[in-house]
Amino acid sequence: MRSLKGRAEEQTLAHTSARLLAATGRQLFALTARPEPGADSRRPTLMRGLRFIGVALVTLYTVVVGIGVLADTLPQSSPVITVLAVAQAAPIVLIRYRPIAAWWLGLIAAMPYLILIGSSTGPAMDSVFWPWSVGGIVAILATGMMVAYQVPYPVALAQWLIVSAVSVAAELIFPDRPQLNNGLVLSGFYAAGLAVIATARWLRDVRRELRRQVGLTEQERVQRTALEERARIARELHDVVAHHMSVIAVQAEAAPYRVTALDPIAAESFTSIRQNALAALTEMRHILGMLRSEQDIPDRYAPQPTLADLDQLFDNCRSAGLSLRTDIHGDVWSLPAQVELIAYRVLQEALSNAIRHAPGSDVEVEVGYGPAVLNLRVSNSPAPAIPAPRAGGHGLTGMRERAAVLGATLRAGPRDDGWYEVSVALPVTVTAALPVTGG
């Protein structure tokens, strides 16, 4: 059993190593790869200008020094020497656009110097630095550090190994040369630069993580502030509304005992007032609980009224003097909690509007259960008497907002026969439930 487990671990390690090598190889030869997007565009214009001037000065220095060194060490003509010096300096300019290609160009541009000096003989060659020229060292280090700051660590390590391997290969191909070998110097500087780059990248990642944590802390602070504000609103609602509703309920319960020979209809009205006040208190406590909670729990809407409570709603409207006819048709089935809550609130608000704005009118309510939609319609006849003007409320706006939660459109307006109608078709499949409070 252990043997099988060990083989599986070895195979996993082998696959992981193969994938890492493949990814490193692809990035090592990604000649068209660009620098990280946005890194330079976020700098101020002055900083970009200074960076451009700095690159130009380093390039010019590399060309001038390269021409001087090559002219002193190589017997070639001036045009050839100039071309070699420019080729060694070109990667410094190309770094901004194609870092990987610039690194390879710097390495390849250093090869003519390596080969020409390695194959030359004579006393003049004894004090010449080899296998790398000054321009080649500058180009390779500059491009290598720029690439190392952007690519994964294995790619930067592979580039350092390639430079070191070229230095070793030069010794093997041209053995017993009297030149002053600077291959170890370049490899040492390259390794030190990689260590500095690795430290800089680690500090950059630490700063990014710190900024991310600061953002999360700020987000949590905003959420905590919002929760505290919701709790404050809940307390104020409880202090204001609960007190007055409790007084109404107590007074309605005590009225039959304080008034002698009370008419039975009036006593029934006081009982209805008490029941509605207690029901309002119960719903308000549920709403306050939702305000105090910032989590969207599955049974969030459970305490809210559902379509099973429509009979009580209709009885309350009739006890208030409303002439109401209802029609519930279709196969009645349990709908999602949010759909039932929105449907109940739409019917409740439509009936309240009929009581306020068309007292004494005839009202018809139709609830149609369908396989995909729930059809609601509340219509009322013109009021027998012109009601006193009332200040505009938010009833229709609230109903439209509730319907929009489910992607439905509520229609409200007069019909051709003079009746006023509110209708909506609510989809019964909730795909993105949004919080809906009562009221």
Domain boundary among 163, 181, 199: 181
Among 248-262, 319-333, 415-429, name the one with the lowest average pLDDT.
248-262
377 touches 365 (CB < 8 A): yes
Residue 3 has pLDDT above 80, yes or no: no
DSSP 3-state of 414: strand
Query: According to the model, what pLDDT value does residue 390 have?
Result: 52
pLDDT per residue as tens digits for the range 55-67: 888 888 888 888 8
Query: According to the model, what pLDDT value does residue 194 have?
Result: 94
Residue 238 has pLDDT above 50, yes or no: yes
Q: What residue spans of 238-299 are helical by DSSP H?
A: 243-258, 264-292
Domain boundary among 124, 154, 181: 181
The continuous run of DSSP H or E covering 379 comes out as: strand 373-380
Give 412 or 298, the one with higher predicted confidence. 412
Axis crossing angle, helix 337-357 with helix 395-405, rounded to the nearest 10: 160
Q: Which domain holds residue 50?
A: 31-181
Residue 428 has pLDDT above 70, yes or no: yes
Q: Are residues 176 and 312 in the same domain?
A: no
User: How is 358-400 classified by DSSP, letter by letter?
Assistant: STT-EEEEEEEE-SSEEEEEEEEPPPSSPPPP----SHHHHHH
Query: According to the model, what pLDDT value does residue 439 have?
Result: 40
How far apart CA 255 and CA 276 sit, in angstroms, is: 15
Q: Give the pLDDT band (50/70/90) at residue 44.
A: low
pLDDT per residue as tens digits for the range 258-298: 677 777 777 788 788 877 877 777 777 676 666 655 554 44
Domain boundary among 181, 196, 220: 181
- Taking alpha carbons only, the member of 237, 243, 206 closest to residue 437 is 237
Residue 335 resides in a domain: yes
Give the CATH number for residue 348: 3.30.565.10
How far apart CA 414 and CA 361 sit, in angstroms, is: 14
Among 125-139, 229-243, 300-314, 403-417, name the one with the lowest average pLDDT.
229-243
Residue 389 has pLDDT above 60, yes or no: no
Residue 378 resides in a domain: yes
Write phi, then psi, for 87 (nearest 5 degrees). Answer: -65, -35
Query: According to the model, what pLDDT value does residue 96 have?
Result: 83
Residue 341 resides in a domain: yes
Tell me how many domains the chain contains. 2
434 touches 405 (CB < 8 A): yes
The predicted model gives 13-17 an average pLDDT of 80
Residue 235 resides in a domain: no
pLDDT per residue as tens digits for the range 91-110: 988 888 888 999 999 999 99
Residue 370 resides in a domain: yes
With vertex at residue 287, the alpha carbon angle to CA 220 and CA 322, rounded to the nearest 5 degrees, is: 150
Residue 214 has pLDDT above 70, yes or no: yes
Residue 230 resides in a domain: no
Query: According to the model, what pLDDT value does residue 433 have?
Result: 38
The predicted model gives 310-337 an average pLDDT of 86
How far apart CA 107 and CA 113 sit, in angstroms, is: 11
- Taking alpha carbons only, the member of 378, 264, 260 closest to residue 317 is 378
Residue 122 resides in a domain: yes
Residue 12 resides in a domain: no
